[in-house]
Structures are given as C-alpha cells and as structure tokens.
Structure 1
Amino acid sequence: MDIAVVGAGSLGSLLGGLLAREHDVTLVGREPHVGRVRERGLRVTGVESFCVEPAAATEVPDAADLALVAVKSYDTAGAAAALADCALDACLSVQNGLGNEATLADALDCPVLAGTCTYGARLTEPGTVAYTGRGEVALGASEGGPSQVAERVGAALDAAGVVTTVAEDMPTRLWGKLAVNAAVNATTALARVENGALADGPAREVAHDAARETARVARERGVDLADERAVALVESVVADTAANRSSMLQDVADGRRTEVDAINGYVADAAESPVPVNETLARLVRAWERGVSSGG
C-alpha cells in the first residue's frame, strides 16, 4: 500500500517507520527532520531498533492509497486543505482530541476513518525517533459499525507488524481516549510531572475528576461511557506509561502551543452542564500559552 503519513512528528514518524518495513511510505513533515530522513533514512531506537528509508517531503504527494494523519489538532484544517488536492482511497486520523475526523471529511472525497493509538514515541533528533512503548492502533468508521475500508486499512497495518484492532465501537473508544487525554495531559503539563505521578498523590483525583466529567459529557451526547470505565482507562494508561512525559508536557517544556482546545476545551464546549475541572485545566493551560506567545 502507498501511504502518506501527514504529520511526521514523534508518533507519525514511528508509525511511518513501522509501516515502511512493509509498504511504500512518504513522511510529510517539517525540516530539518524530513531532510535528514531523505539523506540518511529514518532511525528508530528503543523497543525495536532499525533503520528504514521512506520518502520524505514537506508537501503531501499527488496521490496515495492511504493518508495517515498525525498532525496536532490545531493543524487539522491545514492538513485537510493540503490533502484535498491529493487523490486518496482512504484517510485515517490517529490524532488527539475530538472533531478531527469531521474536519477532514468536510474537505476530502474519500472515506475518513477514526483511530486511536497508544504507541509511545519521541523525536530525539532530526531523523531519529525513540520507540518508547508498544501499543495498539484501533480504527473504524467514526460513526461506528462495520466498514470494509477499515478492514482493508487494518489489514495493511497488521501486515507491517502494527498491533491493530478494527473496531465497530469507535465513538466509545474516541470518548474513552478523550477521557484519558483530558485526565493526563493538562494535569501532567501543569504539574510538570511524568504520567506515573497520577497513580497516587494530589494530582490523582484531579485526573480522575477530569475523566469522570468527560464520561458524563459523552453520555450526554449518546455515547455509553461509564465513569468507572473512564477512570479505569486512566489508571491503566498511567500504569503502563508511568515513566513517560505526556505530549502536552513535552509541548509545554518546549514552549510550544498545546492541544488543550481539542481536549479539555472540547469537553467544556460540549458539556450541557458545568465541568469545572476541565474548564479550569483548559483555562490554566491557555493562560500559560498566552504568556508564552506574548513573551512573558
């Protein structure tokens, strides 16, 4: 399969590297990373160590069988506009937050699949990505139910050794992932702690309350996600990734814009009744972003 990975950051580069062992892959990202990949290949270290030689560019190709979108949520509209001129058979989002699939579907003529990904990755230098944790990609129709396109894409990922589940319950999975991200990302970013710090101590209940609020909003929108299930998902991720630094903590540490609007901000905007923990986390992260952007 001919696959364009749009958003060759940490996760996109890892997935692209894994897929390049079996498929024709183009990493679409920024310099100097993609330039180094063109010159020397992509080096993967950590859980598995190998080097592959995918194509690498700063612009999307003219055509691909699959676009795997891994850009930050605030760049989704730009990625959708770029892909609108690319001849595609299918598109798969593995992004954080909710609403990305709708943005992509509005711009593209091909089926757009929803996905969640629990693989751990971190760009250590241009051309090199650390594979920090083996996980799973779950994918399927964003509205739920069976999908032949999802089956084909899932088979392609599986053939490359990516642990893959083709799921018919993607709305529940997406809201479950949102609950985890709402609990873990902003909390660790504001407290400047690794994920494992949420297993006990003062930050634990903040994270659990954020997850419970997210589950309540999911139910308000017709998605069956119990509070207990949301908290259990958070506890599982925290245990499995205890030594990891969340993506939002990495963004804050590097002085970059975060995805809080598509995570805690999305929960707050979608809620029919107050969600004070998510609202507070979103406001605090936005206050930090404002200070950074103003040079404060």
Structure 2
Amino acid sequence: MDIAVVGAGSLGSLLGGLLAREHDVTLVGRDPHMRRVAAEGLRVAGVEQFRVTPAARTDVPDSADLAVVAVKSHDTAAVADQLAGCELGACLSVQNGMGNEATLAAALDCPVLAGTCTYGARLDEPGTVAFTGRGEVVLGPPAGGRSETAERVGAAFGGAGVETTVAADMPRRLWAKLAVNAAINAATALARVENGALADGPGAALAADAARETARVAREQGVDLADERAVELTRQVVRDTAANRSSMLQDVEAGRATEIDAINGYVVAAADEPVPVNETLTRLVRTRERAD
C-alpha cells in the first residue's frame, strides 16, 4: 500500500517507520527532520531498533492509497485543504481531540476513518525517533459499524507488524479517549507535572471529575460511556504512563499552541448542562497560551 503520513513528528514518524517495513511510505513533516530522513533514512530506537528509508518531504504528495493524519488538531483544517488536491483512496486520523474526522471528511472525496493510537514515541533528533512504548491502533468508521475500507487499512497495518484492531464502536472509543485526555492533559500542563502526579491526592480527584463530566456529555450525545468506566480508563493510563509528560505539557513548556479547544474545550462546547471542571481547565489553559 502507498501510504502518506501527514504530520511526521514523533508519533507520525514511528507509525510511518513501522509501516515502511512493509509498505511504500512517504513522511510529510518539517525540516530539518524531513531533510535528514530523505538523506539518511529514519532510525527507530528503543523498544525496537531498525532503520528504514521512506520518502520524506514537507508537502503532501499528489496521490496515495492512504493518508494517515497525525497533526495537531488546530492544524487539521489546513491539512484537509492540502489533501483536497491529493488523489486519495482513504484517510485515517490518529489525532487527539474530537472533530478532526468531520473536518477532513468535509474537504475530501475519499472515505475518512477514525483512529486511536497508544504507541509511545519521542522525537530525539532529526532523523531519529524513540520507540518508547508498544501500544495499539484502533480504527473504524467515525459513525460506527463496519466498512471494507477499514478492514483493508487494518490488514495493511497488521501486515506491517502494527498491533491493530478494526472496531465497530468508534464513537464510544473516541469519547473514552477524549475523557482520558480531558482528565490528564490540561491538569498536567497547568501543574507542570508528569502523568503519575495524578495517581492520588488532589490531582487524582481533579482528573476523575473531568473524566466523569466528559462521560456525561458523551451520554448526552447518545454514546454509552459510564462515569466510572471513564475514571477507570484514566487511572489505568496514569499508571501506565506515570513517567510521561503529556503532549499538552510539552506544548505549554515550548510556548506552542495547545489542543485545548479539541479536548476540554470540545467537552464544554458539546455539553447540554454545565461542566465546571472542564470549563475551568479550558479557561486556565487559554489564559496560559495568551500569556505566552
């Protein structure tokens, strides 16, 4: 399969590197990383160690069987416009936050799939990505159900050794992931702590409250996600990633725009009733961004 990975930072580079062992892959990202990959290949270190030689560029190609979108949520609209001029067979979002699939589908003529990814990655230096944790890609139609496109993409990922599940319940899985992100990202970014700081004490209580609010909004939207299931998933991720610094914390520390609007801000916008914890976290992160 001819695959373009758009947003080849840490996670995009790792997925692209894994897929390049079996498929024709083009990484689309920023220099100097793309320039180094084009010249010397991509080195993957950590859980697995290997070198692959995908194509690498800073603009999207003219065509691909599949575009895997891994950019930050605030860049989705711009990437959708770029991909609209690309002849695509399908598109898969593995992004954080909600609403990305709808933005892509509005601009593209091909099937758009939703996805979640729990692989761990860190971009150490241009040309090198650290594989920090084995995980899973779950994908399927954004509205739920099955599709031939999802089965074909799932088989392509599995054939490259990527642990993959093709799921019929993507709305529930997306809201569950949103609950975890809403619980962890903003709190760790504001407190400047690793994920493990939310394992007990006031941090754990705050995370649980944000997760419960998100689960309630999911049910308002017709998605069956129980409060305690959202809290349980959050606690599990906190335990499993205790030493990790969340992507939002990294963005705040680097003075970059965060994905707050697609995470806690999305919960606030979608809620029928007040969600004071998510609203407070959203306002605080936005204030932090303005200060930067």
Question: Where on the TM-score scale, by shorter chain, does this alignment land: which range?
Answer: over 0.9
Q: Deviations over 1:122-175 (max 9, x none)?
A: 111111111111111000000001111000000000011111000000000000
Q: Tell me the residue number matched to 2:126.
A: 126
Q: Tell me the residue number matched to 2:88.
A: 88
Pick which of 101-110 and 249-258 moved more: 249-258
Q: SS of 1:157's equivalent?
A: helix
1:261 corresponds to 2:289: no
Over the matched positions of the two proteins, sequence identity in percent amounts to 77
| Code of the aligned partner of 1:168 | A
Query: Across the two proteins, how many residue pairs are aligned to each other?
Result: 292
Structure 1 Cα separation of the partners of residues 152 and 41 of structure 2: 27
What is the CA-CA distance between 1:100 and the residue it aligns to? 0.3
Structure 2 Cα separation of the partners of residues 99 and 175 of structure 1: 11
Q: Which runs of 5+ in 1 are unaligned?
A: none
Q: Tell me the residue number matched to 2:53.
A: 53
Q: Tell me the residue number matched to 2:117.
A: 117
Q: Tell me the residue number matched to 1:108.
A: 108
What is the CA-CA distance between 1:77 and the residue it aligns to? 0.3
What is the CA-CA distance between 1:258 and the residue it aligns to? 0.5
Q: SS of 2:44's equivalent?
A: strand
Q: Deviations over 1:171-230 (max 9, x none)?
A: 000000000000011111111111111111221111110000000000000000000110
Q: Tell me the residue number matched to 1:76.
A: 76
Q: Tell me the residue number matched to 2:99.
A: 99
Alignment RMSD: 0.7
Instruction: Give the alignment's TM-score, normalised by structure 1.
Output: 0.98
Pick which of 123-132 and 262-271 moved more: 123-132
What is the CA-CA distance between 1:50 and the residue it aligns to? 1.2
Structure 2 Cα separation of the partners of residues 190 and 46 of structure 1: 29
Q: SS of 1:109's equivalent?
A: coil
Q: Tell me the residue number matched to 1:2.
A: 2
Q: Tell me the residue number matched to 1:155.
A: 155
What is the CA-CA distance between 1:39 and the residue it aligns to? 1.1
| Code of the aligned partner of 2:29 | G
Structure 2 Cα separation of the partners of residues 245 and 45 of structure 1: 19
Q: Tell me the residue number matched to 2:41.
A: 41
Q: Tell me the residue number matched to 2:239.
A: 239
What is the CA-CA distance between 1:19 and the residue it aligns to? 0.5
Structure 1 Cα separation of the partners of residues 250 and 159 of structure 2: 31
| Code of the aligned partner of 1:182 | A
| Code of the aligned partner of 1:32 | P
